[in-house]
Amino acid sequence: MSDNNERGLQSNKEDLSEWYSEILIKAGFIDFSPVGGFIVLLPPAMFIWDKVRDVMNKEMEGMQVKNAYFPLLIPESLLKKESEHFTGFTPEVAWVTQAGEQKLEERLAIRPTSETIMYTMYAKWVHGTSDLPLKLNQWNSVVRWETSSTRPFLRTKEFLWQEAHTAHATKQEALQQAVDAIALYEKVLRELLAIPVIKGVKSDKEKFKGAVFTYTLEAMMPDGKAIQMATSHMLGQNFSVPFEIEYVDEKGNKSYVWQTSWGISWRIIGAMVMMHGDDKGLVIPPRVAPTQIVIVPVVYRGKPDPTPEAEMLAQELSKVFRVGLDTRQDKTPGYKYNEWELKGVPLRIEIGPRDIEKGTVVFARRDTGQKEAVSRANVVQKAQELLDDIQNNLYAVAKKRLDEMTVRVDTLESLKDVVNSRKGFAVAGWCGERQCEDQIYEQTGATIRCVEEQNEGSCVICGKPARYKMYVSKAY
Ligand SMILES: [Zn+2]
């Protein structure tokens, strides 16, 4: 029987998606609720989301983006004002049509996103240049009635996210804001969740329907499917015209504002789980780990009990780190090791009678499984070094894998081979035509995840000069 089977856990290399659903329950990240397609977020996962929120709030403060809150319900007439946007969402909108026994005069949408309700208010607040830029963010949840089967964090009918909406006097300022936002997301993913991404622009087919264009960050999962991690939309004047968000400049001329919106959702937690997990369970990057260090005293009958020493150590470490102490007497050390490994705690410290004699403890790191004896006197400093090293190593391993899974191709055959057999991003030239984009999907089941401008080579489908370098893959 393999180690993996003893834990009763699916191997993550054999079937990542099976492993994923199982580990989220076993590690206590989520549970399924009585409402189909809606999940319960449990404390360890909520902790990670809160960490992301703390860091994002600080970063947004630096961008002069302020938090606010807008209503959950949006009148249908508002949602319809920007027609492209509305068409994009119609199939997924959940409606409130009745209150008590009373049928409502106008249907109210449960927000699928808040552009329309926010911009109605922006029109009321923006008059002159001194009202600009206007930059508000909300941490909330939205509902999009997905019909395909539920996958926690990646496909649920309600999800947590952050949506920022900005209005600017000039196009240039708005463009810069869209760029800054996507750079912020890239930083958060790299520094907190140790997730490397490809940054690019969505094709017209894949972009947010109300946007002029959409920046995106795409991460590659170990099984060869991409996950869209965050998007930042240049809205141009697509909303400010129908919503009449106008300002009068110094010369007395009326102009419509230029806008952006950008969001990141809890799907980044799902990506983190897939990205770093292994056959033993979760591997949580130290910076977001609810428990960074767990201390396990190893008790031997007839030998001095190391528990008091473990308690002192826990107290000492708790001043700097998030520490757990496992003194359960009805569980063996082996059982405890398995459980904390499954939950992804980055560093385990074992302390037994022999260690006390020698003035040492044993460090076991979750990412590589390596163990080393550390002098008791150096534990705090060594723990800091090791946690930093784990954080960096997780990113380095993920980056190396992303590079290996990003393959340049020159023919449709090799594109098919990469997305279907070798798994990963196939990188190729694209003319920019919708026809060729549709061809790719029909022939491979994969989509263009993002593009970069490029003026060399030819389209891998039609052979015309390429306008873009595209990244093609299957996606969650
Ligand atoms: Zn083409």
Three state DSSP letters for 306-328: CHHHHHHHHHHHHCCCCEEECCC
Q: Ligand 1 mean position to 88 CA, how many Å?
A: 25
Distance from C-alpha of 4 to C-alpha of 8, rounded to nearest angstrom: 7
Q: Ligand 1 mean position to 322 CA, how many Å?
A: 53
Distance from C-alpha of 417 to C-alpha of 396, rounded to nearest angstrom: 26
Q: Ligand 1 mean position to 215 CA, how many Å?
A: 22
- Of 290, 271, 150, 177, which is closest to residue 219 (Cα–Cα)? 271
User: What pTM, to 2 d.p., does this model score?
Assistant: 0.95
- State both tokens at 107: 């249907």
Q: Ligand 1 mean position to 78 CA, how many Å?
A: 38
Pair 25, 39: CB distance under 8 Å = no
Could you read off the pLDDT of 381-398 as tens digits, one per residue? Answer: 999 999 999 999 999 999
Region of 298 please: left (phi>0), alpha (psi -120 to 50) or beta.
beta
Distance from C-alpha of 436 to C-alpha of 460, rounded to nearest angstrom: 9
Q: Ligand 1 mean position to 356 CA, how many Å?
A: 69
Q: Ligand 1 mean position to 459 CA, how many Å?
A: 5
Could you read off the pLDDT of 101-131 as tens digits, one per residue? Answer: 999 999 999 999 999 999 999 999 999 999 9
Q: Ligand 1 mean position to 436 CA, how many Å?
A: 5
- Of 22, 38, 39, which is closest to residue 30 (Cα–Cα)? 39
CA dihedral 70, 71, 73, 79 (to 10 degrees): -30
Q: Ligand 1 mean position to 424 CA, how many Å?
A: 21
Taking 50 as the threshold, does the pLDDT of residue 3 lie above it? Answer: no
Output the average pLDDT for the chain. Answer: 95
Q: Ligand 1 mean position to 467 CA, how many Å?
A: 9
Taking 50 as the threshold, does the pLDDT of residue 4 lie above it? Answer: no
- State both tokens at 247: 């300002």
Q: Ligand 1 mean position to 284 CA, how many Å?
A: 42
Q: Ligand 1 mean position to 429 CA, how many Å?
A: 8
Q: Ligand 1 mean position to 445 CA, how many Å?
A: 17
Can you name the CATH fold of 3-276?
A: BirA Bifunctional Protein; domain 2 (3.30.930)
Q: Ligand 1 mean position to 414 CA, how many Å?
A: 16
- State both tokens at 204: 């017209």
Q: Coil, strand or helix: which one is 76? A: helix
Distance from C-alpha of 470 to C-alpha of 448, rounded to nearest angstrom: 6
Taking 50 as the threshold, does the pLDDT of residue 5 lie above it? Answer: no
Strands 134-143 and 66-67: parallel
Distance from C-alpha of 161 to C-alpha of 229, rounded to nearest angstrom: 11
- Of 318, 471, 320, 322, which is closest to residue 405 (Cα–Cα)? 471
Q: Ligand 1 mean position to 451 CA, how many Å?
A: 14
Q: What residue has token string 């090293």?
A: 389
Taking 90 as the threshold, does the pLDDT of residue 199 lie above it? Answer: yes
Confidence of residue 207 (pLDDT cuts 50, 70, 90): very high
Q: Ligand 1 mean position to 440 CA, how many Å?
A: 10
Q: Ligand 1 mean position to 415 CA, how many Å?
A: 14
- Of 463, 93, 18, which is closest to residue 277 (Cα–Cα)? 18
> Which pLDDT score is estimated for 1?
36
Q: Ligand 1 mean position to 227 CA, how many Å?
A: 25
How many Cα atoms are found within 13 Å in the side-chain-facing hemisphere of 189? 35
Mean pLDDT, residues 136-158 taken together: 94
Which amino acid, 371? K
Cis ω before 346 (30° cut-off from 0): no
6 vs 306, residue with greater confidence: 306
Q: Ligand 1 mean position to 435 CA, how many Å?
A: 7
Which amino acid, 135? K
In CATH terms, is domain 406-475 a member of 3.20.20.370? no
Q: Ligand 1 mean position to 333 CA, how many Å?
A: 60
Taking 90 as the threshold, does the pLDDT of residue 319 lie above it? Answer: yes
The domain limits of the chain are 3-276, 288-390, 406-475
Q: Ligand 1 mean position to 458 CA, how many Å?
A: 8
Under CATH, which architecture does the 288-390 domain have? 3-Layer(aba) Sandwich (3.40)
Q: Ligand 1 mean position to 413 CA, how many Å?
A: 15
Q: Ligand 1 mean position to 460 CA, how many Å?
A: 7
Q: Coil, strand or helix: which one is 221? A: coil
> Which pLDDT score is estimated for 294?
98
Mean pLDDT, residues 407-426 taken together: 95
> Which pLDDT score is estimated for 456?
85
Could you read off the pLDDT of 43-55 as tens digits, one per residue? Answer: 999 999 999 999 9
- State both tokens at 70: 């807008």
Q: Ligand 1 mean position to 212 CA, how many Å?
A: 22
> Which pLDDT score is estimated for 7?
58
Taking 80 as the threshold, does the pLDDT of residue 459 lie above it? Answer: yes
Could you read off the pLDDT of 11-23 as tens digits, one per residue? Answer: 887 788 899 999 9
Percent of the chain with pLDDT over 90: 91
